Amino acid sequence: MKYTSQAVAKPYFIGAMGLFVAQVLFGLIMGLQYVIGDFLFPHIPFNVARMVHTNALIVWLLMGFMGSAYYLVPEEAETELHSPKLALILFWVFLIAAALTVIGYLAVPYATLARITGNDLLPTMGREFLEQPTITKIGIVIVALGFLYNLSMTFLKGRKTAINTVLMIGLWGLAIFFLFSFYNPHNLVKDKFYWWWVVHLWVEGVWELILGAILAFVLIKVTGVDREVIEKWLYVIITLALVSGMVGTGHHYFWIGAPEFWQWWGSVFSALEPVPFFAMTLFAFNMVNRRRREHPNRAATLWALGTGVMAFLGAGVWGFLHTLAPVNFYTHGTQITAAHGHMAFYGAYVMVVITMISYSMPLMRGRAANSNKAQVVEMWAFWLMTVAMVFITLFLTAAGILQVWLQRVSDTPLGFMATQDQISLFYWMREVAGVVFLIGVVTYLVSFFIKGEERAA
Amino acid sequence: MTLPKNIADRVWLVMLAATLTTWALGSSGATGTWAVLVMLGLACLKGVLVILDFMELRHAPLLWRILLLGWLTLIAALIVLFYWIGST
Amino acid sequence: MSSTFTTSAARNIFYGGAVFSFLLFLALTFRTEQVLPQRDQRAQLDNPQVVAGKRIWENNNCIGCHTLLGEGAYFAPELGNVYKRRGPDFIKAWIKGQPTGVPGRRQMPQFNLTEQELDDMVAFLKYASEINTAKWPPNIEG
Amino acid sequence: MDTTINPPPATTDAEPHLHGDLAIWFFILAELMAFGVFFIAYAVTRAYNVEAFNAAQAGLDRNIGALNTILLITGSWGVVRSVQAARADRLVPAVRWMGVGLVCGLAFLVAKIFEYRAKFAAGLSMDTDTFHMFYFSLTFFHFMHVVLGVCILGILLLKLRRGGYGSHDVHGLETGAAYWHMVDLAWIVLFPLVYVMH
């Protein structure tokens, strides 16, 4: 950690981990509600638990990206952060806004929350992942602008590197596409069409730039391979990501009323979306094999390699599974989508934030890496979480295949609830895997508090 | 007609001829399996010339020749296959 | 492999490829906006009930459990074609009758909608069911 | 058919060398994959409704298609000659040949716009029927590539005029040329497939 102002990343990472635990807990609640329908009803109905689960995920990933950026940009730009004070203020604003929103979800019925937060003035609530009250959305925009101002000033006055450039493009893109969440037309088709400009162009567009930049930064530090090689590959990978991801948005436009040419464009381009993740995995393993130093933080290296593999599996393979229009016709809106969602989010974005935390936390606490004992526990956490997530995905995929067969493909289709009863076995198994995942998360958090022989900073 | 010295010129002339032939075949309303094969053959010829001489992969590592010529062969083969399926 | 691989070329290709893809996407979006009027039943939006119904759908976070045209939560049935599957009266009776209280069954909260709001919701679901979704879902079960 | 009608390779070094930046070759492969998938999708869909495709295809203007093919081939040829001239430090011919490439590219765009206007005037569009969906999708996807190609050739031309390229450095020129040849290669397959074969 070359610059003292990089330490401002620590609260962001701690906040991110806190929300991560909350997200997993509410995930477990929902998992149980899938099999015991009235669990915690009416106190926490399913839709409320889901809002907390999905919103907590997005907020803690954003916090993770912000923390990573606050750590990475000064070091890359070789200059102190423009204003650490502003960064801390924005952290508390963001955390409090998120906390208030979650309390709002839990304390009052959603319709009441909409009324008391004046949603009618500028209605943006009630859409998946964008359930936050309009005032919270405005708060997010303010925090994002402050964050981007702070980083851009740092970026402009320091050394320009490809990693910083790509990260800043990704973060500015993230803020700009979020503005589409304020567009909520009466026309349902246009509402959904531009809703995807927030969701898809985030996770299969600009977030892949952020993912690439963070992974490249960690790989340079961990492998010692010279910057030139890694930055060339970074540009190739993110170009593949944008070229395939941009028009790849079409795979969401098959069945929502958009013209039918999207079925061809969406299928062709989204079929190419696994290519950047495959290139990223190749790139990560290649760099680690050609490493020129043995970095003491082996856990961070494991997370970085894991990110490549799981991103390719979750986002690439499981995405391709149901991205072609003729297949998607049957799997659209089934558990197959949920399976892809889980492993893609975990493999691509959860793991890259954890990679950055694993790499930078020891440095912010004054040592190159945690003790050997702590790293072993951390690696246990890696395998517990990753294997548990693979099983969650496998169980949901099995549930999805059976659901597609029973409810969509068979000549005598079952109703929705009848089908759900048939696949409840997989929901039970998914819940067990979810508990194992929580154990993995707790193990990961514990690994930060395990003492052992100190390593030189 | 002496062949022009520069390889690029010769390749250009061959490709012009191939294009005009394809155009003539098309205008004459040629259809059926043989017409498809001839046109695809001409397209492949042009493709090979572009890959080897215009893109200068003739002097490039073998891998790149395999990749691009492989792409051209695969596409042509699949097109013939599906045109054959269409015609039965 | 003897070939030069420069960062400047990779960066220029990134900028070129990104702009190219975005323009291509904008062109397809422009084309979509031209064709949408023939597919999205926008005439029904003149009926204030449909507009009010969409607001009620949003304010009660129905998307938190249901899918609409296949998008949303997978906890409860698809409602994009429920108007065709069940008809208006069933929908109103079902919403009024919730929660069922059957032990162990998935529960839908009671939203205390007025008669007018129920009619608005039905109008919105009718509108949603008539959008041209390229023959999706595969069958009436949705 | 003997296609090896060439004198010893222009570049003296015998060791195999890829011309143009490796990054552009990654994207030539990616683009060819995208075009390839589109071509196969066209062929597969046609196999299942041959009459409809043949009927709709009859309405296409084969002459403009052929003209465009000739334009692109000539454009590619011009760019090859330009690269050869630049390698030999004959900068004035290099600029002139690049001009040929650029003009052919622009002519292609103009011809294509006229063709599209005629189609739109006839009330045809991407949503008329499956054939026209493929026709417009494929040709428009290629059209955008030619637009980008013309921009690239324009930049190369300007840099050539400023003496940016020569025997000391043809790297950027070769990279742009490789991309332009890929655009030509894609059209070479697209033209017979969509315009002629039935």
Q: Which of A236, A261, A267 sits opposite D127 (nearest CB)?
A: A261
Round to whole Å and give the CA distance between A110 and A116: 10
Round to whole Å and give the CA distance between D117 and B81: 34
Closest by CA to A13, choosing from A440, A356, A304, A370, is A356
**Shortest CA gap C47–chain B (Å):** 48
Chain A residues lying within 8 Å of D33, measured CB to CB = 272, 275
Half-sphere exposure at residue B70, Cβ-oriented, CA atoms within 13 angstroms: 8
Closest by CA to A383, choosing from A306, A316, A451, A314, is A306
Distance of CA A351 to the CA centre of its chain: 8
Q: Is the pLDDT of residue B29 over 90?
A: no
CATH of the domain at A349: 1.20.210.10
Is the Cβ of A34 closer than 8 Å to some Cβ of chain C? yes
Inter-chain CB proximity C74 and A333 less than 8 Å: yes
Whether A112 and A225 share a structural domain? no
pLDDT in tens, B37-81: 999 999 999 999 999 999 999 999 999 999 999 999 999 999 999
State how many domains chain D has.
Answer: 1
For C28, name the nearest residue in chain D, comparing CA atoms only: D137
- Between C1 and A339, residue with greater pLDDT: A339
Q: Is the pLDDT of residue D7 over 70?
A: no
For A235, name the nearest residue in chain D, comparing CA atoms only: D23
CATH of the domain at A144: 1.20.120
Q: Is residue A453 part of a domain?
A: no
State how many domains chain A has.
Answer: 2
Whether A22 and A139 share a structural domain? yes
Q: Which of B54, B75, B81 sits opposite D76 (nearest CB)?
A: B54
The pLDDT value recorded for residue B1 is: 56
Round to whole Å and give the CA distance between A250 and A294: 44
Q: Is residue D7 part of a domain?
A: no
The CATH number of the structural domain formed by C41-142 is 1.10.760.10
How many other CB atoms are found less than 10 A from the CB of residue D88?
Answer: 13
Q: At what angle do helices A298-311 and A372-403 cross, to 10 degrees?
A: 10
Q: Is residue A169 part of a domain?
A: no
Is the Cβ of C26 closer than 8 Å to some Cβ of chain D? no
Band (D2; pLDDT cuts 50, 70, 90):
very low
* Chain A (275-304) residues lying within 8 Å, Cβ to Cβ, of chain C: none
The pLDDT value recorded for residue D11 is: 47
CB B8 within 8 A of CB B54: yes
Q: Which H/E stretch holds residue C71?
A: strand C71-72
Chain C residues lying within 8 Å of B56, measured CB to CB = none
For B62, name the nearest residue in chain C, comparing CA atoms only: C1
* Chain C (71-130) residues lying within 8 Å, Cβ to Cβ, of chain B: none
Half-sphere exposure at residue A269, Cβ-oriented, CA atoms within 13 angstroms: 27
Task: For residues C93-100, give the mean pLDDT.
Answer: 93
Residue D115 is encoded by which pair of tokens? 């063709």
CB D136 within 8 A of CB D125: yes
Q: Is residue D26 part of a domain?
A: no
For D37, name the nearest residue in chain A, comparing CA atoms only: A268
Task: For residues C117-123, give the mean pLDDT.
Answer: 96
Inter-chain CB proximity A232 and D26 less than 8 Å: no
Round to whole Å and give the CA distance between D150 and D157: 10
Tell me the β-bridge partners of C67. Answer: C72, C78
Q: Is residue A177 part of a domain?
A: no
CATH of the domain at D88: 1.20.120.80
Query: What Cα–Cα distance (Å) separates residue D167 from each residue in A199, D82, D87, D89?
Result: 49, 12, 4, 6
| Chain pair A-D, CB pairs under 8 angstroms | 36
**Shortest CA gap A217–chain D (Å):** 21
Q: What is the mean pLDDT of each run of 10 residues along chain A (457 residues)?
A: 93 97 97 95 94 97 97 96 96 96 96 95 95 96 97 96 97 97 96 97 95 96 93 95 95 96 95 94 94 94 96 96 96 96 96 97 92 95 97 97 96 94 96 97 95 63
Residue whose token pair is 């683009």: D31
Chain C residues lying within 8 Å of B62, measured CB to CB = none
Q: Is residue A190 part of a domain?
A: no
Query: What Cα–Cα distance (Å) separates residue A100 from each residue in A54, A96, A109, A113?
Result: 16, 6, 14, 11
CB A291 within 8 A of CB A222: yes
Whether A227 and A144 share a structural domain? no
Residue A255 is encoded by which pair of tokens? 């069945």
Inter-chain CB proximity D191 and B48 less than 8 Å: no
Q: Is the pLDDT of residue D198 over 90?
A: no
For D61, name the nearest residue in chain B, comparing CA atoms only: B27
Q: Is residue A184 part of a domain?
A: no
- Between D13 and A279, residue with greater pLDDT: A279
Q: Which of C10, C31, C78 sits opposite A416 (nearest CB)?
A: C78
Summary count for chain B: helices (H), strands (E): 3, 0
pLDDT in tens, D50-62: 999 999 999 898 9
Residue whose token pair is 């689960």: A53
pLDDT in tens, D101-130: 999 999 999 999 999 999 999 999 988 899
Residue whose token pair is 């590539």: D145
Chain B residues lying within 8 Å of C1, measured CB to CB = 61, 63
How many other CB atoms are found less than 10 A from the CB of residue D124?
Answer: 19
- Domain of D138 in residue numbering reads as 71-196
Band (D6; pLDDT cuts 50, 70, 90):
very low
Chain D residues lying within 8 Å of C17, measured CB to CB = 27
Chain B residues lying within 8 Å of D65, measured CB to CB = 23
Round to whole Å and give the CA distance between D111 and D116: 9
Query: What Cα–Cα distance (Å) separates residue A296 from each residue in A303, A362, A368?
Result: 14, 11, 7
Inter-chain CB proximity A37 and C107 less than 8 Å: yes
State residue C132 phi and psi, 5-degree precision: -75, 95
How many other CB atoms are found less than 10 A from the CB of residue A85?
Answer: 12
Q: Is residue D128 part of a domain?
A: yes
* Chain C (1-20) residues lying within 8 Å, Cβ to Cβ, of chain D: 1-6, 9-10, 13, 16-17, 20
Q: Is residue D155 part of a domain?
A: yes
For chain C, list the contacting chains (3+ Cβ pairs, <8 Å).
Answer: A, B, D
Q: Is residue A206 part of a domain?
A: no
Round to whole Å and give the CA distance between A399 and A320: 18
ipTM for the complex shown: 0.93
Position D129: which residue type?
A: D
Q: Is residue A205 part of a domain?
A: no
- Domain of A346 in residue numbering reads as 216-448
The pLDDT value recorded for residue C4 is: 86
CB C108 within 8 A of CB A47: no
Band (D16; pLDDT cuts 50, 70, 90):
confident
CB A426 within 8 A of CB A395: yes
